[in-house]
């Protein structure tokens, strides 16, 4: 996934952390082998190369991510889209980075072979159809799913108190050994001039999208161009996968449309945006109620 993972957990004194570490590494390696667009032999890469009309049986993890991605694509009006790999490659945001800005003709051609609505997915059986030319890119949702998967693995090992983090996406379970919750500072642009926001991740995950760290790297699937209106947007949700995908979708939609959709969906969201009037912070009704 091109990033690092960390787990902090409370365990008995006789617990073997190395065995747990090995189990986490195996779990993450399995997810990468399924859904990485950086590995040419991953299941996702093989789907992207498949001929038109080919149906592929997806493993359970892959199928779960696709189902959630297609659901949020529909609910966001395509602001989140798991089928924009061609556009991601055009902009150099994928496994072959470059700084060239694609031409309008190249973007139009990329849009023509992209889009979640071109996919046919048999949810009950887990089969996904390649319509021809579609390239999946799950970087806006698979990392969150990996956080959830590691949390479930910890639970299976009898660990009820932990903080899991992969590339900035976090999920907290239980409490710390000192009985405090797992406090996490929501990412705040350092020059925004707004107060930091600290939240207790007790059965909650947080995912953040935006441009203040990596620049304008979140593509609007509807236009094929990077989204530029949001500086930082964080979503809190019991599932890191859902928080991850909604953070991408709401960043694409921008402050006004994103706020309307977050309110409609009952999502806990903090959005920081910039305009000619300066920096604006918006908290969704759901997040404001949580903080109260």
Residue numbering of the annotated binding site for Mg(2+): 140, 244, 248
Q: Do 236 and 206 form a contact (C-beta atoms < 8 A)? A: yes
Tokens read off for 187:
């990412």
Q: Which residues does the annotation place in the binding site? A: 140, 244, 248
Q: Which of 124, 49, 110, 54 is nearest to 81 (CA)?
A: 110
CA distances from 175 to 101, 158, 179, 238 (A): 47, 14, 5, 15
Pull the structure tokens for residue 9.
């957990």
CA separation for the pair 238, 249 (Å, rounded): 17
Smallest CA-to-CA distance from 140 within 210, 197, 49 is with: 210
Residue 104, Cβ density class (10 Å: 0-12 exposed, 13-18 middle, ≥19 buried): exposed
């Amino acid at each position: 996934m091109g990033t690092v993972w960390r787990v902090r957990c409370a365990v008995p004194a006789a617990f073997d952390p190395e065995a747990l570490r090995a189990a986490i590494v195996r779990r993450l390696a399995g997810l990468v082998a399924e859904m990485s667009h950086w590995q040419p032999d991953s299941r996702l890469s093989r789907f992207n190369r498949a001929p038109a009309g080919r149906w592929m049986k997806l493993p359970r993890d892959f199928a779960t991510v696709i189902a959630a991605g297609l659901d949020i694509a529909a609910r966001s009006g395509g602001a989140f889209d798991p089928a924009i790999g061609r556009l991601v490659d055009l902009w150099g945001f994928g496994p072959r980075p470059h700084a060239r800005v694609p031409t309008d003709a190249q973007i139009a051609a990329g849009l023509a072979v992209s889009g979640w609505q071109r996919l046919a997915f048999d949810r009950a059986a887990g089969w996904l159809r390649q319509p021809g030319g579609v390239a999946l890119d799950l970087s806006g949702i698979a990392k969150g799913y990996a956080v959830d998967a590691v949390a479930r693995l910890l639970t299976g090992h009898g660990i009820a108190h932990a903080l899991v983090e992969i590339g900035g996406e976090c999920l907290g379970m239980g409490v710390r050994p000192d009985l405090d919750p797992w406090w996490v500072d929501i990412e705040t642009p350092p020059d925004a001039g707004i107060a930091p926001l600290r939240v207790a991740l007790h059965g909650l995950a947080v995912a953040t999208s935006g441009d203040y760290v990596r620049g304008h790297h979140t593509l609007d699937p509807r236009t094929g161009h990077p989204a530029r209106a949001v500086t930082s947007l964080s979503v809190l949700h019991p599932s890191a996968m859902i928080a991850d995908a909604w953070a991408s979708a709401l960043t694409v939609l921008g402050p006004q449309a994103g706020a309307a959709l977050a309110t409609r969906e009952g999502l806990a969201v903090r959005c920081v945006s910039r305009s000619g009037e300066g920096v604006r912070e918006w908290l969704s009704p759901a997040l404001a109620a949580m903080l109260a």
